[in-house]
């Protein structure tokens, strides 16, 4: 077993953080739009409905990605490669879910709350 693997360490740590933060924001979602706590983008902060939806959606994704990362981290225990490559692969696998979380949540917000060309919500 290769317990010193950066792949194992990074993915286990990032997966644990994702799972913990996802659980906290799912159980205790931020009630008011703020710049400190929760999933904060211009798109998610346009209305209270968008805010609530983004918090719920992103927290579920964070839980899912966190558990996935922790499961994948176990591969690092059995794979033996150069420490440098191991380090960069660990970082790459750790950053990918962050980008995926952002992309999927923004797409879900745009799908649920479509806008006209002028930026205002469709109320038809």
pTM: 0.85
Using only C-alpha atoms, the chain has a radius of gyration, in whole angstroms, of: 18
Whether 59 contacts 66, CB under 8 Å: no
Over the stretch 49-75, which tens digit does the pLDDT of each residue have?
999 999 999 999 999 999 999 999 898
Percent share of the chain, pLDDT over 90: 60
Residue 39 CB burial class (10 angstroms; 0-12, 13-18, ≥19): buried
Over the stretch 27-56, which tens digit does the pLDDT of each residue have?
999 989 998 989 999 999 999 999 999 999
């Amino acid at each position: 077993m290769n317990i010193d693997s950066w792949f194992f360490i990074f993915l286990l740590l990032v997966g644990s953080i994702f799972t913990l933060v996802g659980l906290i924001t799912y159980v205790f979602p931020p009630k008011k739009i703020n710049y400190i706590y929760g999933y904060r983008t211009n798109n998610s902060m346009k209305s209270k409905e968008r805010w609530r939806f983004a918090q719920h959606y992103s927290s579920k994704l964070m839980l899912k990605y966190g558990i996935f990362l922790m499961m994948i981290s176990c591969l690092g225990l059995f794979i033996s490669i150069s420490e440098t490559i191991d380090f960069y692969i660990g970082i790459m696998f750790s950053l990918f879910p962050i980008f995926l979380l952002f992309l999927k949540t923004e797409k879900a917000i745009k799908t649920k709350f479509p806008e006209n060309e002028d930026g205002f919500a469709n109320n038809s």
